[in-house]
Amino acid sequence: MTDKSTIVYTLTDEAPSLATCSLLPIVRTFTRAAGIEVTISDISLAGRILSAFPERLKEEQRVVDGLAELGKLTQDPHANIVKLPNISASVPQLRACIAELQGQGYDVPDYVDAPKTDAEKDARERYSKILGSAVNPVLRQGNSDRRAPAAVKAYARKYPHSMGAWSKASRTHADYMTGGDFFSSEQSITSEKAQDVRIEFVSKSGQVELKKTLPLEQGEVLDSMFMSSKALRAFFEQTLEDSKNTGVMWSLHVKATMMKVSHPIVFGHAVSVYYKDLFDKHGELFKELGVNPNNGLSSVYDKIKSLPDSKQEEILHDLHACYENRPEMAMVDSVKGITNLHIPSDVIVDASMPAMIRNSGQMWGRDGKQKDTKAVMPESTYARIYQEVINFCKTNGAFDPTTMGSVSNVGLMAMKAEEYGSHDKTFEMTEDGTMRVVDADGNVLMQHEVEKGDIWRACQTKDAAIRDWVKLAVTRARNSDTPAVFWLDEERAHDNELRKKVEAYLQEHDLEGLDIRIMSYNEAIRFSMERMKRGKDTISVTGNVLRDYLTDLFPIMELGTSAKMLSIVPMLAGGGMYETGAGGSAPKHVQQLMEENHLRWDSLGEFLALAVSLEELGIKEHNSRAKVLAKCLDKATEKLLENGKSPSRKTGELDNRGSHFYLGLYWAQEVAAQTEDAELAAEFAPFAKALSDNEEQILAELAAVQGKPAAEVEGYYHADREGVKKVMRPSATLNGILASANA
Amino acid sequence: MTDKSTIVYTLTDEAPSLATCSLLPIVRTFTRAAGIEVTISDISLAGRILSAFPERLKEEQRVVDGLAELGKLTQDPHANIVKLPNISASVPQLRACIAELQGQGYDVPDYVDAPKTDAEKDARERYSKILGSAVNPVLRQGNSDRRAPAAVKAYARKYPHSMGAWSKASRTHADYMTGGDFFSSEQSITSEKAQDVRIEFVSKSGQVELKKTLPLEQGEVLDSMFMSSKALRAFFEQTLEDSKNTGVMWSLHVKATMMKVSHPIVFGHAVSVYYKDLFDKHGELFKELGVNPNNGLSSVYDKIKSLPDSKQEEILHDLHACYENRPEMAMVDSVKGITNLHIPSDVIVDASMPAMIRNSGQMWGRDGKQKDTKAVMPESTYARIYQEVINFCKTNGAFDPTTMGSVSNVGLMAMKAEEYGSHDKTFEMTEDGTMRVVDADGNVLMQHEVEKGDIWRACQTKDAAIRDWVKLAVTRARNSDTPAVFWLDEERAHDNELRKKVEAYLQEHDLEGLDIRIMSYNEAIRFSMERMKRGKDTISVTGNVLRDYLTDLFPIMELGTSAKMLSIVPMLAGGGMYETGAGGSAPKHVQQLMEENHLRWDSLGEFLALAVSLEELGIKEHNSRAKVLAKCLDKATEKLLENGKSPSRKTGELDNRGSHFYLGLYWAQEVAAQTEDAELAAEFAPFAKALSDNEEQILAELAAVQGKPAAEVEGYYHADREGVKKVMRPSATLNGILASANA
């Protein structure tokens, strides 16, 4: 149980966590006046690792399991959580964090690829819960409501971000499987009663292996599907040959972080097909060394370090020889020679595709030049929409941020809906046979013939989540007076099950005057884009994966970033979570801070989320001061945008810390100027004056530290908090004003 | 008034007219038995010219005006016309035909570009009625019903034509204006009463010039629109620069034949923009010489012949220099160096675009190699659909003739509907000012500000035609149990007027169980293609231009040619016209015949049309033998396809004449074998036997003539009929059997 007047603010990783150190003291100065406490919950990668191994740590090293506590809080109707972006750790990231913690004297175990001892297996099991997108599934106990705040949209129209022109002659295209993938094999049922079903594997010899028992609720939708590894590998080979023949650069776009079980395998196949000659020749040796293509080519570089120099050279020679017979590949960092296949977490489809689309449909080649690309996204379920966008841009030219409409999203996210909850029901086949879902009476509900290497998975979607999603869609359509389109594909078994429910649950609402439609994906995105081009808004009402993809795609085109979106999770239990943008945790920002003491992270998402958090708290807990603070914060944010006080990317100019100062200044001025609560206004007048009077001095102090390395920040994943504080709060004058305001 | 048992068979031009000479004697052998006379009506280009100048010809040289007579016949409820493809003459074709006739001793006048004397003006006026698509507007006194006959579709699925693969990396695209064209300026009104309106030009100084008085019927839709010549020229320049920059070959696709007033002007701008340096330097001289870019670059070549050699060389040098600064241009004949801009009638959009699409989206370059192309179609109204098709092919690959569904068409064609009736209401502006449409009371119904050089036009669509079109659509949807889509674009003023009528007239019919929709063009073509890809049929219900475009586009993809389509015009007056394919009159076929005495023209369209003609005559005139003949003819056609007895393209193999023999043989065998009319069967048994017994001999005689020039054919446009007969009926044995059967 939480106090009714508490906002829980998450401490995460990288740039957002650094920014928090600067922003929170300012925020608390305001919330204190409304009797609201802003508490911190550590859900950083390092924190999660430490809390997983209490028995190995000294008493003083132990930390509480912030994520578990927050998870409980989501069930509280009073929950009010402001959630910042965190790391969805890939294996290399996890390893780096473990190494850092070990170096700091924490006795956490290694992450072992092929655990043998019980201890290793136990550690591996605990780490598996930390890997990938481990935070969101725990916290997102509701559906998703994402939209561009009016102030942000207006600002983007007035001061448009850069948008690369599209050539009608562009060769860029999406390429995806047309058979053998999850889309082609999807089956779906709706459970008519609460029941336990079994996922079983039946071998060719008839042996039945229980893979998992699943409790299903009444009305729950269960899907099963598989991707053929043979078809996948043949597809990769074919895309490589086509790229080679047409001279179009090859690139791979998956989501190995969120789809942490299936997509690393898909990624691994891409690596071992692209570098086929290398793996053919050195396969045995690689196996001995523990090279895992699922971790990217970096795994080869890592593991061969133990070999004699001459052998290493031979392998590197063979590796480079692969490039001769393969098409040019898109680079993540052409300066450092980091390719698309280096690490599975580098290229994440929902961010990489919009970036490509914004960039004239081009990615970077080995020579550092922009080039048209074949964007390979094996699974065709959602990949098709990107081809539709590409076709649209070729036909109509790039979207124009100054005139384009907005596509907001109502996403089916609650209760680990759909693919994003499938990790514990995803299996890589170790032999040929049949995967099947069987009920208690032995009836086979669904089954697939599979082969060794195929990836089979089941996905669940709870009836309560669907019902709430439909309700949220109707509410959003009503409140925003905007057409809402349910994206349900006629060719998907799962969507056809959902369609029945959607049609039924829509009848529970007053639809008078609303424009609510159901369309297949390609129709829906085309419809939305046609409207968008004409400056009209549309609500996309989608499943969980499209929620994720679209809330990057459209915001990046509209606003240049998805970090400026309002992202609200109205929880099923009644509470609310306010996410601060989907912009990732920005490792490059940290790098710049470390080297030049400039943090370009934009906390706009935090400002917007905090305003909604305060507004909701004000409404639910009848806290009028919270409402006043919310209103003033929104006005302050608008002023900040209008006056150009967002962080600059360039060292030496205003950065995250300076932007926080201006937010505090404008917010205080708004509170002092408002007339709803005269007492509050009076209270904040001197604070506003102090900030205003000392503007020059504070800016000078903030500017003075820039340009040199931020030496005090020790540690990347688990930085010393005191060091961070020194770096992130360098203005003695500002610190003094805050201290006296809170005295 | 026609006899109730007469089929009027048109004598046209080029290959169809040659084929007629061979086919009709066979056909008449059958129809005679049903008391049906097949008469000939000469509507050839030469015939039309000769009939236009009776006063200049000797008594024995005079011919009746076949077209005028046929025009009258269309108003007869008993009309039954089989219409073969004819020449829609461009100016160069008209000139060539005039020269030929003059050479044969006919005193027809020259076609003068800039007529000065009254006689010249009179001749020019008469020729203007012969130019371009002069036949169809007279004969097509009804809407259009076009579809692939079941036998043809089944055959195409079993024996698919070749279809070039599409690369996802293709650079091919459609390019069209996004402003300043007819689409952008279209205005439309529906006349509430019968009234005369005036089309007027108001000069900048206020002078009003009456351009035309138009009588409007009650409920008639009148549109007006213009294309800005400045915008058009800027657009051409921009497409040329873009092609140059991207390295994508440039091509122009217009319809200078059918749109005989506006499109030659558009074509002329393309010529003078592409060869801008040439026209800039020699413009004055060209004007003196009478060079007209609207007739293509051939006009330059023609007119400079009168100049001294050195001057000619200078001009040719400057002409060739243009290619340095311009992108590569698509070739009509790369061997002969004939470019896309040589003659306006060479590249006709409705045939050239499907050919390109079938050919992997490529056209031929100067080096004779296939290349991706920028397909420039300035007017965006209909050009947009081609980009949609291109996107679809890039995304899904080429259509597969073995599995694809069919898109038939119900076209609004009656009473010179829409753009195709606009020629006498199209004006090229000679000064800046205002074009307006004014009613009797002086109310301005529509108006446009125009500049010198702009092309302004008005289009009429009669209410009766629309009402009949809606009825035909419902009938076809019902009879074929196929969804029908009205293509009405929400962004077109004209279509929005039509939409109101369509919605009203649909209510006059029983729509129970029918799937009838209204969609914008891009939606409609996408919907149709998605269905097509899945093997499903759709009826496209379109305006006149789309009728023309789509009945080439879809048939060419489905069947490899539009010549195999059933093309029926149920006339408003009650009669019927049966067109034999839209495959053009095939000049290349004639060339092959002249050089190698092989005619590859496929009379399949004639067979199919004749069967429907006989069937309709049978129903209307209660002629049961006509019905039997129709049924047997369809079966014979199926057998012919199945047995591969269509003409080969290769000299030495079965050609048009041999194919006619087989049709006669199979038809006779079917009639002899049928049991509905025993007497008829008995009558045809010996005929069938005679043909069958002499198969080898006849084939040998037909084969013997091939490989040498067909010297007896004297004349191209106005060939000596006796000479044609010698060439087209070379089998003495077959001639003998026909003679005895008709004795």
B170: contact with A, CB 8 A cutoff: yes
- Interchain proximity A248–B391, CB inside 8 Å: no
Question: What pLDDT score was predicted for residue A629?
Answer: 97
Q: Is A95 marked as a binding-site residue?
A: no
A395-441 pLDDT, tens digit per residue, is: 999 999 999 999 999 999 999 999 999 999 999 999 999 999 999 99
- Interchain proximity A246–B394, CB inside 8 Å: no
Question: What pLDDT score was predicted for residue B582?
Answer: 58
Question: What pLDDT score was predicted for residue A479?
Answer: 86
How far is A706 from chain B, CA to nearest CA, in Å? 44
B598-657 pLDDT, tens digit per residue, is: 999 999 989 999 999 999 999 889 999 999 999 999 999 999 999 999 999 999 999 999
Structure tokens belonging to residue A538: 């549309």
A132-168 pLDDT, tens digit per residue, is: 878 988 998 999 999 998 888 889 999 999 999 999 9
Question: What pLDDT score was predicted for residue B634?
Answer: 92
- Interchain proximity B175–A168, CB inside 8 Å: yes
DSSP 8-class letter at B167? P
**pLDDT value at A261 more than 60:** yes
- Interchain proximity A171–B175, CB inside 8 Å: no
Report A:246-275 residues touching B (Cβ under 8 A).
Answer: 246-248
A479: contact with B, CB 8 A cutoff: no
Average of per-residue pLDDT across A217-235: 98
**Tally of CA atoms within 13 A in the half-sphere of B582 that contains its CB:** 28
Which of B166, B170, B171 should one mutate to test binding to chain A, selecting the residue with the greatest count of A CBs within 10 A? B171
**pLDDT value at B32 more than 70:** yes
In contact, A325 and A277? CB cutoff 8 Å: yes
Q: Say which of A168, A246, A372 has its CB closest to residue B167.
A: A246
Dihedrals φ, ψ of B374, to 5°? -90, 110
Question: What pLDDT score was predicted for residue B743?
Answer: 79
Parallel/antiparallel/unpaired status of strands A538-542 and A407-411? parallel
Average of per-residue pLDDT across B301-323: 95
B134-175 pLDDT, tens digit per residue, is: 898 899 899 999 999 888 888 999 999 999 999 999 999 999
Nearest CA in chain B to A395: B387
Give the E-state strand segments of B54-165 in sequence order: 80-83, 144-147
How far is B580 from chain A, CA to nearest CA, in Å? 36
How far is A396 from chain B, CA to nearest CA, in Å? 9
**pLDDT value at A480 more than 60:** yes
Task: State the pLDDT confidence band at A716, using cuts at 50, 70 and 90.
Answer: very high
> Among B43, B160, B183, B116, which residue's Cα sits nearest to residue B491?
B183
Average of per-residue pLDDT across A635-653: 94
Residues of B with Cβ-Cβ distance to A167 under 8 angstroms: 242, 246
Structure tokens belonging to residue B529: 């293609």
Average of per-residue pLDDT across B493-516: 98
Residues of A with Cβ-Cβ distance to B246 under 8 angstroms: 167, 169
Q: Which residue has the tokens 């930085």?
A: A719
**pLDDT value at A329 more than 50:** yes
> Among A563, A649, A432, A715, which residue's Cα sits nearest to residue A152?
A563
> Among A641, A662, A657, which residue's Cα sits nearest to residue A706?
A657
- Interchain proximity A170–B175, CB inside 8 Å: no
Average of per-residue pLDDT across A528-555: 96
Dihedrals φ, ψ of A102, to 5°? -60, -40
Residues of A with Cβ-Cβ distance to B395 under 8 angstroms: 173, 387-388, 391
C-alpha angle B300/B304/B306, rounded to 5°? 150
In the chain, the amino acid numbered A436 is R
- Interchain proximity A168–B394, CB inside 8 Å: no
The contacts of residue B509 (CB under 8 Å, 6+ apart) are B470, B471, B474
3-state helix, strand, coil in chain A (%, to 5): 50, 15, 35
Q: To the nearest whole number, what is the mean pLDDT of chain A?
A: 95
Return d(Cα B590, Cα B714) in angstroms, integer.
12
Q: What's the first-to-final CA gap in chain B, in angstroms?
A: 29
Q: Is B138 marked as a binding-site residue?
A: yes
Average of per-residue pLDDT across A625-631: 95
Return d(Cα B302, Cα B297) in angstroms, integer.
9
- Interchain proximity B169–A374, CB inside 8 Å: yes
Question: What pLDDT score was predicted for residue A742?
Answer: 84
In contact, A152 and A641? CB cutoff 8 Å: yes
Concatenating the DSSP letter of every residue in A296-352 gives: -THHHHHHGGGS-HHHHHHHHHHHHHHHHHS--B-EEETTTTEETTS-TTT-BHHHH
**pLDDT value at B2 more than 70:** no
Task: State the pLDDT confidence band at A588, using cuts at 50, 70 and 90.
Answer: confident
Which of A380, A395, A530 should one mutate to test binding to chain B, selecting the residue with the greatest count of B CBs within 10 A? A395
Q: Which helix (H) or strand (E) is A518 found in, with range?
A: strand A516-519
B193-211 pLDDT, tens digit per residue, is: 999 999 999 999 999 999 9
Q: Residues of A454-480 as b/e, b for ≥16 C-beta within 10 angstroms?
A: bbbbbbbbbbebbbbbbbbbbebbbee
Average of per-residue pLDDT across B284-302: 94
Q: Say which of A168, A246, A372 has its CB closest to residue B173.
A: A168
Residues in a beta bridge with A362: A372
- Interchain proximity A169–B374, CB inside 8 Å: yes
Concatenating the DSSP letter of every residue in A412-477 gives: --TTT-BGGG-GGGEEE-SSSEEEEEE-TT--EEEEEEE-TT-EEEEEEE-HHHHHHHHHHHHHHH
Q: Say which of B168, B173, B175 has its CB closest to residue A173.
A: B168
Average of per-residue pLDDT across A57-80: 94
A391: contact with B, CB 8 A cutoff: yes
Question: What pLDDT score was predicted for residue B3?
Answer: 67
A173: contact with B, CB 8 A cutoff: yes
Dihedrals φ, ψ of A670, to 5°? -65, -40
Nearest CA in chain A to B249: A169
Alpha-carbon distances of B308 from A23, A597, A675, B277, B289, rounded to whole Å:
86, 79, 93, 21, 13
Question: What pLDDT score was predicted for residue A1?
Answer: 40
Express as a percent the part of chain B with pLDDT over 90: 90
Average of per-residue pLDDT across A54-71: 95
Return d(Cα B633, Cα B635) in angstroms, integer.
5
Question: What pLDDT score was predicted for residue B1?
Answer: 40
Nearest CA in chain B to A391: B391
CA B577 to chain centre: 15
**pLDDT value at A650 more than 70:** yes
- Interchain proximity B374–A170, CB inside 8 Å: no
How far is A474 from chain B, CA to nearest CA, in Å? 26
Q: Is B146 marked as a binding-site residue?
A: yes
Return d(Cα B509, Cα A179) in angstroms, integer.
44
Dihedrals φ, ψ of A485, to 5°? -115, 120
A657: contact with B, CB 8 A cutoff: no
Tell me the three state secondary structure of residue A184.
helix
Return d(Cα B84, Cα B81) in angstroms, integer.
10
Q: Is A280 marked as a binding-site residue?
A: no
**Comparing A222-231, B152-161, B181-190, B248-257, which segment has the lowest mean pLDDT?**
B152-161
Question: What pLDDT score was predicted for residue A430?
Answer: 97
Q: To the nearest whole number, what is the mean pLDDT of chain B?
A: 95
B195: contact with A, CB 8 A cutoff: no
Residues of B with Cβ-Cβ distance to A247 under 8 angstroms: 169
In contact, B146 and B551? CB cutoff 8 Å: yes
Parallel/antiparallel/unpaired status of strands A576-579 and B195-203? unpaired
Q: Is A352 marked as a binding-site residue?
A: no
Report A:149-168 residues touching B (Cβ under 8 A).
Answer: 167-168
Question: What pLDDT score was predicted for residue A580?
Answer: 86
Report A:506-565 residues touching B (Cβ under 8 A).
Answer: 526
B444-491 pLDDT, tens digit per residue, is: 999 999 999 999 999 999 999 999 999 999 999 998 899 999 999 999
In contact, A425 and A458? CB cutoff 8 Å: yes
Question: What pLDDT score was predicted for residue B113?
Answer: 86
How far is A150 from chain B, CA to nearest CA, in Å? 29
B489: contact with A, CB 8 A cutoff: no
